[in-house]
Amino acid sequence: MSGPPGQSRAALLARLRADPVWDVLVVGGGASGLGCAVDAAARGYQVALVEARDFAQGTSSRSTKLIHGGVRYLAQGRLGLVREALHERARLLENAPHLVRPLRFVVPARRWSELATVGAGLGLYDLLAGRGGIGRSRLLGAAETRAALPGVKADGLCGGVAYWDAQFDDARLALALARTLADLGGVPLNHCALERLLIEDGVIRGAVVRDTERAEPFALRARVVINATGVWSDQVRRLANPAAPATLRPSQGVHLVVDRAFLPGRQALLVPRTEDGRVLFMIPWQDRLLLGTTDTARADLPLEPEALPGEVDFILSTAARYLERAPGRADVLSVFAGLRPLLESAAARNSGELSREHVVEVSAQGLVSMLGGKWTTYRSMAADAVDAAIEWAGLPARPCATASLRLHGAAAPRGDRLDAYGSDLSGLESLPGAGRVLVEGLDLTEAEVRHAARAEWARGVEDVLARRHRALFLDATLAACAAPAVAQILAAELGRDEGWVAAQTDAFHALASAYGASLSRACAAARSG
Protein backbone atom coordinates (compact mmCIF):
# COMPACT_ATOMS: atom_id res chain seq x y z
CA MET A 1 0.00 0.00 0.00
CA SER A 2 1.20 3.51 -0.63
CA GLY A 3 1.45 6.23 1.96
CA PRO A 4 0.56 9.90 1.52
CA PRO A 5 1.28 11.12 -2.05
CA GLY A 6 5.01 11.40 -2.53
CA GLN A 7 5.71 10.24 1.04
CA SER A 8 5.64 6.45 0.75
CA ARG A 9 8.94 4.81 1.59
CA ALA A 10 9.45 3.85 -2.05
CA ALA A 11 8.89 7.45 -3.15
CA LEU A 12 11.27 8.82 -0.50
CA LEU A 13 13.94 6.27 -1.42
CA ALA A 14 13.59 7.21 -5.09
CA ARG A 15 14.06 10.89 -4.19
CA LEU A 16 17.21 10.08 -2.23
CA ARG A 17 18.68 8.31 -5.23
CA ALA A 18 17.58 10.95 -7.74
CA ASP A 19 18.65 14.24 -6.16
CA PRO A 20 22.27 14.98 -7.08
CA VAL A 21 23.30 17.09 -4.06
CA TRP A 22 21.45 17.79 -0.81
CA ASP A 23 22.04 20.97 1.15
CA VAL A 24 21.99 19.08 4.45
CA LEU A 25 22.29 15.35 5.18
CA VAL A 26 21.42 14.36 8.73
CA VAL A 27 22.56 11.01 10.12
CA GLY A 28 20.42 9.80 13.03
CA GLY A 29 16.65 9.62 13.47
CA GLY A 30 16.26 10.32 17.16
CA ALA A 31 15.30 13.59 18.85
CA SER A 32 18.49 15.43 17.86
CA GLY A 33 18.60 14.30 14.26
CA LEU A 34 14.92 14.84 13.57
CA GLY A 35 15.12 18.24 15.25
CA CYS A 36 18.06 19.25 13.05
CA ALA A 37 16.36 18.04 9.89
CA VAL A 38 13.09 19.85 10.64
CA ASP A 39 14.99 23.05 11.50
CA ALA A 40 16.97 22.96 8.25
CA ALA A 41 13.91 22.13 6.14
CA ALA A 42 11.87 24.89 7.80
CA ARG A 43 14.59 27.36 6.71
CA GLY A 44 14.10 26.25 3.11
CA TYR A 45 17.12 23.98 2.61
CA GLN A 46 16.97 20.63 0.80
CA VAL A 47 17.27 18.06 3.59
CA ALA A 48 17.62 14.30 3.79
CA LEU A 49 17.76 12.22 6.97
CA VAL A 50 18.81 8.58 7.28
CA GLU A 51 18.28 6.35 10.32
CA ALA A 52 19.90 2.92 10.54
CA ARG A 53 16.96 1.34 12.37
CA ASP A 54 13.62 2.99 13.13
CA PHE A 55 12.89 6.54 14.17
CA ALA A 56 13.60 6.95 17.92
CA GLN A 57 14.46 3.26 18.27
CA GLY A 58 17.34 4.09 20.59
CA THR A 59 17.40 6.48 23.53
CA SER A 60 14.69 8.76 22.17
CA SER A 61 11.88 6.25 22.80
CA ARG A 62 13.12 5.22 26.26
CA SER A 63 12.85 8.46 28.26
CA THR A 64 10.85 9.19 31.42
CA LYS A 65 8.19 10.74 29.14
CA LEU A 66 8.67 14.21 30.62
CA ILE A 67 9.16 17.62 29.03
CA HIS A 68 10.64 19.46 31.98
CA GLY A 69 13.17 21.93 33.23
CA GLY A 70 14.90 19.43 35.47
CA VAL A 71 14.17 20.05 39.15
CA ARG A 72 17.38 18.41 40.30
CA TYR A 73 19.49 20.70 38.10
CA LEU A 74 18.47 23.57 40.40
CA ALA A 75 20.45 22.02 43.25
CA GLN A 76 23.42 21.63 40.88
CA GLY A 77 23.30 25.34 40.06
CA ARG A 78 22.58 24.79 36.34
CA LEU A 79 20.09 27.62 36.19
CA GLY A 80 20.77 28.40 32.54
CA LEU A 81 19.89 24.84 31.52
CA VAL A 82 16.72 24.93 33.63
CA ARG A 83 15.61 28.26 32.19
CA GLU A 84 16.22 27.14 28.61
CA ALA A 85 14.36 23.86 29.17
CA LEU A 86 11.37 25.59 30.76
CA HIS A 87 11.11 27.99 27.84
CA GLU A 88 11.30 25.06 25.40
CA ARG A 89 8.62 23.28 27.45
CA ALA A 90 6.28 26.23 26.79
CA ARG A 91 7.00 26.05 23.06
CA LEU A 92 6.27 22.32 22.90
CA LEU A 93 2.99 22.72 24.76
CA GLU A 94 1.99 25.20 22.06
CA ASN A 95 3.44 23.44 19.01
CA ALA A 96 2.49 19.83 19.81
CA PRO A 97 -0.59 19.96 22.07
CA HIS A 98 -1.72 16.52 20.90
CA LEU A 99 1.46 14.97 22.30
CA VAL A 100 2.60 17.22 25.16
CA ARG A 101 0.33 17.99 28.13
CA PRO A 102 0.63 19.61 31.55
CA LEU A 103 1.06 17.23 34.47
CA ARG A 104 0.89 18.11 38.16
CA PHE A 105 3.53 16.63 40.47
CA VAL A 106 3.48 16.29 44.22
CA VAL A 107 6.61 15.93 46.36
CA PRO A 108 5.68 14.26 49.67
CA ALA A 109 7.70 15.34 52.71
CA ARG A 110 8.25 13.70 56.08
CA ARG A 111 10.29 16.52 57.61
CA TRP A 112 9.38 20.18 57.89
CA SER A 113 12.87 21.15 56.77
CA GLU A 114 12.42 19.12 53.59
CA LEU A 115 9.10 20.83 52.96
CA ALA A 116 10.70 24.27 53.28
CA THR A 117 13.71 23.41 51.08
CA VAL A 118 11.66 21.82 48.30
CA GLY A 119 9.12 24.63 48.44
CA ALA A 120 11.81 27.27 48.03
CA GLY A 121 13.43 25.41 45.14
CA LEU A 122 10.15 25.03 43.29
CA GLY A 123 9.40 28.69 43.85
CA LEU A 124 12.63 29.43 41.95
CA TYR A 125 11.48 26.93 39.29
CA ASP A 126 8.32 29.03 38.82
CA LEU A 127 10.37 32.20 38.48
CA LEU A 128 12.68 30.68 35.87
CA ALA A 129 9.66 29.58 33.82
CA GLY A 130 8.48 33.19 33.58
CA ARG A 131 5.55 33.68 31.24
CA GLY A 132 5.90 30.08 30.11
CA GLY A 133 4.83 28.77 33.49
CA ILE A 134 1.97 26.25 33.58
CA GLY A 135 0.81 26.85 37.13
CA ARG A 136 2.35 28.00 40.38
CA SER A 137 3.74 25.60 42.97
CA ARG A 138 2.07 25.48 46.35
CA LEU A 139 2.54 23.89 49.77
CA LEU A 140 0.11 21.13 50.76
CA GLY A 141 -0.86 19.84 54.17
CA ALA A 142 -0.71 16.14 54.98
CA ALA A 143 -4.41 15.60 54.19
CA GLU A 144 -4.11 17.48 50.88
CA THR A 145 -1.05 15.41 49.97
CA ARG A 146 -2.87 12.14 50.66
CA ALA A 147 -5.85 13.33 48.59
CA ALA A 148 -3.58 14.29 45.68
CA LEU A 149 -1.66 11.00 45.87
CA PRO A 150 -4.06 8.18 46.75
CA GLY A 151 -1.85 5.24 47.66
CA VAL A 152 0.97 7.32 49.18
CA LYS A 153 2.34 6.05 52.50
CA ALA A 154 0.76 8.21 55.19
CA ASP A 155 3.10 7.19 58.02
CA GLY A 156 5.13 10.26 59.07
CA LEU A 157 3.81 12.41 56.24
CA CYS A 158 3.84 16.09 57.19
CA GLY A 159 2.77 17.54 53.86
CA GLY A 160 3.99 18.09 50.33
CA VAL A 161 4.70 20.53 47.54
CA ALA A 162 2.74 20.55 44.28
CA TYR A 163 4.19 21.91 41.05
CA TRP A 164 3.64 21.65 37.29
CA ASP A 165 5.64 20.17 34.44
CA ALA A 166 4.66 18.42 31.21
CA GLN A 167 4.35 14.86 29.97
CA PHE A 168 4.68 13.54 26.43
CA ASP A 169 4.92 10.43 24.29
CA ASP A 170 8.54 10.44 23.15
CA ALA A 171 8.31 8.00 20.24
CA ARG A 172 5.15 9.63 18.91
CA LEU A 173 6.78 13.09 19.08
CA ALA A 174 9.73 11.74 17.11
CA LEU A 175 7.33 10.41 14.51
CA ALA A 176 5.54 13.78 14.38
CA LEU A 177 8.91 15.38 13.64
CA ALA A 178 9.61 12.86 10.87
CA ARG A 179 6.25 13.59 9.29
CA THR A 180 6.78 17.33 9.71
CA LEU A 181 10.07 16.96 7.83
CA ALA A 182 8.24 15.22 4.99
CA ASP A 183 5.53 17.90 5.02
CA LEU A 184 8.28 20.51 4.58
CA GLY A 185 9.65 18.72 1.54
CA GLY A 186 12.47 16.83 3.26
CA VAL A 187 13.18 13.10 3.11
CA PRO A 188 13.13 11.05 6.35
CA LEU A 189 14.19 7.45 5.67
CA ASN A 190 14.32 4.81 8.39
CA HIS A 191 16.09 1.45 8.05
CA CYS A 192 18.83 3.11 6.00
CA ALA A 193 22.29 2.78 7.55
CA LEU A 194 25.41 4.91 7.23
CA GLU A 195 28.29 2.87 5.83
CA ARG A 196 30.98 5.51 5.37
CA LEU A 197 31.50 9.22 4.81
CA LEU A 198 32.45 10.55 1.40
CA ILE A 199 35.69 12.47 1.92
CA GLU A 200 37.31 14.27 -1.00
CA ASP A 201 40.48 16.33 -0.57
CA GLY A 202 40.04 16.12 3.20
CA VAL A 203 36.46 17.49 3.13
CA ILE A 204 33.24 15.56 3.74
CA ARG A 205 31.03 15.68 0.63
CA GLY A 206 28.28 13.27 1.69
CA ALA A 207 27.95 9.64 2.69
CA VAL A 208 27.44 6.12 1.42
CA VAL A 209 24.29 4.62 2.94
CA ARG A 210 22.58 1.25 2.65
CA ASP A 211 18.89 0.49 2.45
CA THR A 212 18.82 -2.36 4.99
CA GLU A 213 15.74 -3.93 3.41
CA ARG A 214 17.49 -4.42 0.07
CA ALA A 215 21.13 -4.39 1.20
CA GLU A 216 21.93 -1.93 -1.57
CA PRO A 217 24.51 0.78 -0.79
CA PHE A 218 24.37 4.09 -2.66
CA ALA A 219 25.99 7.51 -2.38
CA LEU A 220 24.31 10.64 -1.08
CA ARG A 221 26.17 13.84 -1.88
CA ALA A 222 25.61 16.80 0.45
CA ARG A 223 27.03 20.23 1.13
CA VAL A 224 27.17 19.42 4.84
CA VAL A 225 26.61 16.33 7.00
CA ILE A 226 25.23 16.54 10.55
CA ASN A 227 26.09 13.70 12.91
CA ALA A 228 23.17 13.36 15.34
CA THR A 229 23.52 9.74 16.37
CA GLY A 230 23.27 10.16 20.14
CA VAL A 231 25.40 7.75 22.16
CA TRP A 232 26.95 6.49 18.92
CA SER A 233 28.18 9.97 17.89
CA ASP A 234 31.82 9.24 18.70
CA GLN A 235 31.76 6.25 16.34
CA VAL A 236 30.60 8.48 13.48
CA ARG A 237 33.12 11.18 14.43
CA ARG A 238 35.87 8.58 14.01
CA LEU A 239 34.71 7.85 10.47
CA ALA A 240 35.88 11.40 9.72
CA ASN A 241 38.90 11.33 12.01
CA PRO A 242 40.01 7.96 13.44
CA ALA A 243 42.00 9.79 16.12
CA ALA A 244 39.06 11.83 17.42
CA PRO A 245 38.97 11.68 21.24
CA ALA A 246 35.86 10.51 23.09
CA THR A 247 33.37 13.26 23.91
CA LEU A 248 30.63 11.21 25.61
CA ARG A 249 30.28 9.13 28.75
CA PRO A 250 27.01 7.16 28.30
CA SER A 251 24.74 6.51 31.25
CA GLN A 252 21.89 4.02 31.48
CA GLY A 253 18.43 4.88 32.76
CA VAL A 254 16.01 2.06 33.62
CA HIS A 255 12.22 2.34 33.94
CA LEU A 256 9.58 -0.04 35.23
CA VAL A 257 5.90 -0.08 34.30
CA VAL A 258 3.32 -1.45 36.74
CA ASP A 259 -0.43 -1.35 37.20
CA ARG A 260 -1.95 2.06 37.82
CA ALA A 261 -3.63 0.73 41.00
CA PHE A 262 -0.43 1.26 43.00
CA LEU A 263 -0.87 5.05 42.64
CA PRO A 264 -4.34 5.47 41.12
CA GLY A 265 -4.59 9.25 41.10
CA ARG A 266 -4.06 11.57 38.16
CA GLN A 267 -1.03 13.32 39.63
CA ALA A 268 2.60 12.21 39.64
CA LEU A 269 4.86 11.64 42.64
CA LEU A 270 8.42 12.92 42.77
CA VAL A 271 10.98 11.51 45.19
CA PRO A 272 13.36 14.48 45.56
CA ARG A 273 16.46 12.53 46.55
CA THR A 274 17.17 8.82 46.26
CA GLU A 275 20.07 6.93 47.81
CA ASP A 276 22.26 7.70 44.79
CA GLY A 277 21.36 11.40 44.82
CA ARG A 278 18.92 11.29 41.91
CA VAL A 279 15.23 12.01 41.77
CA LEU A 280 12.72 9.23 41.12
CA PHE A 281 9.39 9.68 39.39
CA MET A 282 6.14 7.73 39.71
CA ILE A 283 4.05 8.91 36.79
CA PRO A 284 0.61 7.97 35.46
CA TRP A 285 1.15 7.02 31.82
CA GLN A 286 -1.44 5.53 29.46
CA ASP A 287 -3.39 3.83 32.25
CA ARG A 288 -0.22 2.38 33.78
CA LEU A 289 2.29 3.67 36.33
CA LEU A 290 5.81 4.50 35.17
CA LEU A 291 8.62 4.26 37.76
CA GLY A 292 12.14 5.53 37.18
CA THR A 293 14.89 6.15 36.67
CA THR A 294 18.45 5.02 37.41
CA ASP A 295 21.78 6.54 36.40
CA THR A 296 24.40 3.86 35.76
CA ALA A 297 27.58 4.43 33.76
CA ARG A 298 28.10 2.05 30.83
CA ALA A 299 31.20 1.55 28.74
CA ASP A 300 29.43 -0.55 26.10
CA LEU A 301 26.73 0.63 23.70
CA PRO A 302 24.21 -2.19 23.18
CA LEU A 303 21.41 -1.62 20.67
CA GLU A 304 18.98 -3.13 23.19
CA PRO A 305 20.27 -2.23 26.67
CA GLU A 306 18.85 -4.26 29.54
CA ALA A 307 18.53 -3.48 33.22
CA LEU A 308 21.68 -4.35 35.14
CA PRO A 309 21.61 -6.39 38.37
CA GLY A 310 20.24 -4.26 41.17
CA GLU A 311 18.60 -1.53 39.05
CA VAL A 312 15.11 -3.05 39.18
CA ASP A 313 15.43 -3.75 42.91
CA PHE A 314 16.60 -0.18 43.51
CA ILE A 315 13.53 1.30 41.84
CA LEU A 316 11.16 -1.08 43.62
CA SER A 317 12.76 -0.51 47.04
CA THR A 318 12.59 3.27 46.59
CA ALA A 319 8.93 3.04 45.57
CA ALA A 320 8.24 0.92 48.64
CA ARG A 321 9.35 3.77 50.90
CA TYR A 322 6.57 5.99 49.51
CA LEU A 323 3.66 3.69 48.61
CA GLU A 324 1.26 1.95 50.98
CA ARG A 325 1.08 -1.05 48.68
CA ALA A 326 4.39 -1.34 46.91
CA PRO A 327 4.86 -3.30 43.67
CA GLY A 328 7.17 -6.29 43.61
CA ARG A 329 9.00 -7.99 40.76
CA ALA A 330 5.94 -10.06 39.87
CA ASP A 331 3.96 -6.84 39.35
CA VAL A 332 6.29 -5.41 36.72
CA LEU A 333 4.61 -5.35 33.31
CA SER A 334 7.60 -4.03 31.35
CA VAL A 335 11.22 -3.06 31.99
CA PHE A 336 12.99 -0.78 29.53
CA ALA A 337 16.37 0.92 29.50
CA GLY A 338 17.92 3.74 27.50
CA LEU A 339 21.42 5.17 27.15
CA ARG A 340 21.95 8.90 27.74
CA PRO A 341 24.57 10.68 25.57
CA LEU A 342 26.18 12.65 28.42
CA LEU A 343 29.13 14.94 27.79
CA GLU A 344 32.45 13.71 29.17
CA SER A 345 33.88 15.67 32.10
CA ALA A 346 36.99 14.94 34.11
CA ALA A 347 35.49 16.82 37.07
CA ALA A 348 32.36 14.64 37.34
CA ARG A 349 32.65 11.96 40.02
CA ASN A 350 29.73 9.95 38.63
CA SER A 351 27.27 10.03 35.74
CA GLY A 352 24.71 11.89 37.85
CA GLU A 353 27.04 14.90 37.88
CA LEU A 354 27.55 14.93 34.10
CA SER A 355 25.97 17.81 32.25
CA ARG A 356 22.72 17.42 30.31
CA GLU A 357 23.75 20.40 28.19
CA HIS A 358 24.92 20.07 24.61
CA VAL A 359 27.78 21.15 22.38
CA VAL A 360 28.12 21.41 18.61
CA GLU A 361 31.47 20.36 17.17
CA VAL A 362 32.65 21.00 13.61
CA SER A 363 35.59 18.78 12.67
CA ALA A 364 38.43 19.77 10.38
CA GLN A 365 36.76 17.68 7.67
CA GLY A 366 33.47 19.55 8.09
CA LEU A 367 31.44 16.98 10.05
CA VAL A 368 28.96 18.82 12.28
CA SER A 369 28.30 16.76 15.41
CA MET A 370 25.46 17.39 17.85
CA LEU A 371 26.66 16.05 21.22
CA GLY A 372 24.76 15.65 24.49
CA GLY A 373 21.49 17.33 25.32
CA LYS A 374 18.04 16.04 26.20
CA TRP A 375 14.57 15.71 24.68
CA THR A 376 13.15 18.91 26.18
CA THR A 377 15.74 21.12 24.50
CA TYR A 378 15.94 19.27 21.18
CA ARG A 379 14.63 22.30 19.24
CA SER A 380 17.15 24.83 20.56
CA MET A 381 19.92 22.25 20.20
CA ALA A 382 18.95 21.75 16.56
CA ALA A 383 19.01 25.50 15.92
CA ASP A 384 22.61 25.65 17.17
CA ALA A 385 23.68 22.71 15.01
CA VAL A 386 22.02 24.04 11.85
CA ASP A 387 23.55 27.49 12.42
CA ALA A 388 26.98 25.83 12.54
CA ALA A 389 26.22 23.76 9.44
CA ILE A 390 25.12 26.84 7.48
CA GLU A 391 28.28 28.71 8.40
CA TRP A 392 30.64 25.87 7.53
CA ALA A 393 28.96 25.00 4.21
CA GLY A 394 28.45 28.60 3.15
CA LEU A 395 24.72 28.09 2.64
CA PRO A 396 22.54 31.21 2.28
CA ALA A 397 21.94 32.53 5.79
CA ARG A 398 18.34 32.08 6.94
CA PRO A 399 16.98 32.43 10.48
CA CYS A 400 15.60 29.57 12.57
CA ALA A 401 11.86 29.16 11.94
CA THR A 402 10.82 26.47 14.44
CA ALA A 403 9.97 28.48 17.57
CA SER A 404 6.33 28.68 16.51
CA LEU A 405 6.22 25.80 14.01
CA ARG A 406 3.24 23.55 14.71
CA LEU A 407 4.23 19.91 14.32
CA HIS A 408 2.41 17.41 12.14
CA GLY A 409 -0.97 16.48 13.55
CA ALA A 410 -1.11 19.39 15.99
CA ALA A 411 -4.67 19.69 17.23
CA ALA A 412 -6.48 20.53 20.42
CA PRO A 413 -6.15 17.55 22.79
CA ARG A 414 -9.24 15.41 23.33
CA GLY A 415 -8.18 13.69 26.54
CA ASP A 416 -7.35 10.14 25.48
CA ARG A 417 -4.44 8.23 23.94
CA LEU A 418 -5.73 8.71 20.40
CA ASP A 419 -4.70 12.34 20.73
CA ALA A 420 -1.36 10.92 19.57
CA TYR A 421 -2.78 11.07 16.04
CA GLY A 422 -4.03 14.63 16.33
CA SER A 423 -5.55 15.85 13.08
CA ASP A 424 -4.81 12.46 11.44
CA LEU A 425 -7.38 10.73 13.63
CA SER A 426 -10.33 11.16 11.27
CA GLY A 427 -8.46 9.43 8.46
CA LEU A 428 -7.43 6.59 10.73
CA GLU A 429 -11.02 6.00 11.85
CA SER A 430 -12.04 5.40 8.23
CA LEU A 431 -9.57 2.53 7.70
CA PRO A 432 -10.56 -1.16 7.81
CA GLY A 433 -10.62 -2.56 11.32
CA ALA A 434 -11.11 0.76 13.11
CA GLY A 435 -13.27 -0.90 15.75
CA ARG A 436 -11.33 -4.16 16.06
CA VAL A 437 -9.08 -4.31 19.11
CA LEU A 438 -6.39 -6.93 18.51
CA VAL A 439 -5.82 -8.13 22.07
CA GLU A 440 -7.88 -7.61 25.18
CA GLY A 441 -6.00 -5.33 27.58
CA LEU A 442 -4.42 -3.21 24.83
CA ASP A 443 -6.24 -0.50 22.89
CA LEU A 444 -4.38 -1.25 19.66
CA THR A 445 -6.72 -1.65 16.68
CA GLU A 446 -6.29 -3.22 13.26
CA ALA A 447 -6.74 0.25 11.72
CA GLU A 448 -3.82 1.64 13.73
CA VAL A 449 -1.54 -1.08 12.36
CA ARG A 450 -2.67 -0.33 8.82
CA HIS A 451 -2.14 3.40 9.42
CA ALA A 452 1.35 2.71 10.80
CA ALA A 453 2.28 0.90 7.59
CA ARG A 454 0.58 3.28 5.16
CA ALA A 455 1.38 6.68 6.67
CA GLU A 456 4.04 6.25 9.38
CA TRP A 457 6.72 4.11 7.66
CA ALA A 458 6.42 1.11 10.01
CA ARG A 459 8.33 -1.78 8.43
CA GLY A 460 8.01 -4.52 11.03
CA VAL A 461 6.21 -5.73 14.14
CA GLU A 462 8.62 -3.97 16.51
CA ASP A 463 8.11 -0.64 14.74
CA VAL A 464 4.39 -0.92 15.49
CA LEU A 465 4.35 -2.43 18.98
CA ALA A 466 7.26 -0.44 20.42
CA ARG A 467 6.92 3.01 18.82
CA ARG A 468 3.77 3.58 16.70
CA HIS A 469 1.85 2.09 19.64
CA ARG A 470 3.60 1.75 23.02
CA ALA A 471 2.42 -1.79 23.78
CA LEU A 472 5.91 -3.20 24.43
CA PHE A 473 6.57 -0.51 27.04
CA LEU A 474 3.14 -0.82 28.66
CA ASP A 475 2.82 -4.61 28.97
CA ALA A 476 5.43 -6.77 27.30
CA THR A 477 3.36 -9.95 27.61
CA LEU A 478 0.28 -8.46 25.96
CA ALA A 479 2.52 -6.99 23.26
CA ALA A 480 3.89 -10.47 22.58
CA CYS A 481 0.32 -11.77 22.36
CA ALA A 482 -0.49 -9.11 19.76
CA ALA A 483 2.58 -9.84 17.61
CA PRO A 484 1.10 -12.58 15.36
CA ALA A 485 -1.95 -10.47 14.45
CA VAL A 486 0.20 -7.39 13.83
CA ALA A 487 2.55 -9.42 11.62
CA GLN A 488 -0.36 -10.70 9.52
CA ILE A 489 -1.78 -7.20 8.99
CA LEU A 490 1.63 -5.78 8.11
CA ALA A 491 2.24 -8.64 5.68
CA ALA A 492 -0.95 -7.74 3.84
CA GLU A 493 0.02 -4.06 3.75
CA LEU A 494 3.66 -4.55 2.77
CA GLY A 495 3.31 -7.57 0.48
CA ARG A 496 5.19 -10.05 2.68
CA ASP A 497 4.81 -13.85 2.82
CA GLU A 498 4.13 -16.29 5.66
CA GLY A 499 7.84 -16.86 6.19
CA TRP A 500 8.22 -13.15 6.96
CA VAL A 501 5.25 -13.31 9.36
CA ALA A 502 6.83 -16.19 11.28
CA ALA A 503 10.26 -14.54 11.41
CA GLN A 504 8.81 -11.22 12.58
CA THR A 505 6.72 -12.90 15.27
CA ASP A 506 9.64 -14.96 16.58
CA ALA A 507 11.95 -11.93 16.63
CA PHE A 508 9.43 -9.83 18.53
CA HIS A 509 8.79 -12.60 21.07
CA ALA A 510 12.54 -12.75 21.75
CA LEU A 511 12.62 -8.97 22.20
CA ALA A 512 9.55 -8.95 24.46
CA SER A 513 11.11 -11.55 26.74
CA ALA A 514 13.94 -9.07 27.42
CA TYR A 515 11.31 -6.53 28.51
CA GLY A 516 9.87 -9.05 30.97
CA ALA A 517 7.22 -10.79 28.89
CA SER A 518 5.99 -14.08 30.33
CA LEU A 519 5.69 -16.01 27.09
CA SER A 520 4.55 -19.07 29.01
CA ARG A 521 1.26 -17.23 29.60
CA ALA A 522 -0.90 -18.55 26.79
CA CYS A 523 -1.33 -15.76 24.26
CA ALA A 524 -4.38 -17.52 22.95
CA ALA A 525 -6.06 -16.72 26.27
CA ALA A 526 -5.97 -13.03 25.36
CA ARG A 527 -9.25 -12.81 23.49
CA SER A 528 -9.23 -11.00 20.17
CA GLY A 529 -11.64 -8.09 19.82
My answer on whether 520 and 441 are in the same domain is yes
My answer on whether 192 and 330 are in the same domain is no
- What is the share, in percent, of the chain residues with pLDDT greater than 90? 85
My answer on whether 303 and 265 are in the same domain is yes
Q: Is the pLDDT of residue 2 over 50?
A: no
- Position 72 scores a pLDDT of 81
- Position 350 scores a pLDDT of 47
- What is the share, in percent, of the chain residues with pLDDT greater than 70? 93
Q: Is the pLDDT of residue 493 over 70?
A: yes
My answer on whether 161 and 255 are in the same domain is yes
Which run of H or E residues covers position 471?
A: helix 471-474
Q: Is the pLDDT of residue 447 over 90?
A: yes
User: Tens digit of pLDDT for each residue in 13-39?
Assistant: 999 989 789 999 999 999 999 999 999
My answer on whether 126 and 253 are in the same domain is yes
pLDDT-based confidence at 526, cuts 50/70/90? Answer: very low
Domain assignment present for 75:
no
My answer on whether 160 and 255 are in the same domain is yes
Section 211-215 average pLDDT: 90
My answer on whether 262 and 156 are in the same domain is yes
User: Tens digit of pLDDT for each residue in 130-160?
Assistant: 999 999 999 999 999 999 999 999 999 999 9
CA 239 to chain centre: 26
Q: Is the pLDDT of residue 522 over 50?
A: no
Which run of H or E residues covers position 138?
A: strand 138-141
Q: What residues contact residue 407 under an 8 Å CB cut-off, 6+ apart?
A: 95, 96, 99, 173, 176, 177, 180
My answer on whether 387 and 521 are in the same domain is no
Q: Which of 307, 342, 377 is the last residue of a domain?
A: 342
My answer on whether 230 and 359 are in the same domain is yes
As beta bridge partners, residue 285 has: 288
Assign 251 to helix, strand or coil. Answer: strand
Section 348-357 average pLDDT: 54
Query: Integer distance in angstroms from the first to the last C-alpha of the chain?
Result: 24
Domain assignment present for 310:
yes
On average, the pLDDT of the chain sits at: 93
pLDDT-based confidence at 344, cuts 50/70/90? Answer: confident
Domain assignment present for 256:
yes
User: Tens digit of pLDDT for each residue in 391-442?
Assistant: 999 999 999 999 999 999 997 666 555 578 999 988 898 999 999 999 999 9
Domains identified in the chain, total number:
3
Q: What are phi and psi of 504, to 5 degrees?
A: -65, -40
Q: Is the pLDDT of residue 304 over 60?
A: yes
- Position 347 scores a pLDDT of 46
My answer on whether 242 and 253 are in the same domain is no
pLDDT-based confidence at 353, cuts 50/70/90? Answer: very low
CATH classification at residue 181 = 3.50.50.60
Find out whether the peptide bond into 145 is cis, omega within 30 degrees of 0: no
My answer on whether 260 and 329 are in the same domain is yes
As beta bridge partners, residue 269 has: 106, 282
Q: Is the pLDDT of residue 114 over 50?
A: yes
Q: Which of 105, 137, 121, 117 is nearest to 72 (CA)?
A: 121
- Position 348 scores a pLDDT of 44
Lowest mean pLDDT among 10-24, 335-349, 455-469, 484-498: 335-349
As beta bridge partners, residue 359 has: 371
My answer on whether 207 and 259 are in the same domain is no
- Position 414 scores a pLDDT of 62
- Pairing, β 296-297 against β 288-292: unpaired
CATH classification at residue 260 = 3.30.9.10
Domain assignment present for 322:
yes
pLDDT-based confidence at 120, cuts 50/70/90? Answer: very high
Domain assignment present for 4:
no
Q: Is the pLDDT of residue 173 over 90?
A: yes
Domain assignment present for 360:
yes
pLDDT-based confidence at 380, cuts 50/70/90? Answer: very high
Domain assignment present for 410:
no
User: What range does the domain containing 294 cover?
Assistant: 100-166+249-342
Domain assignment present for 408:
no
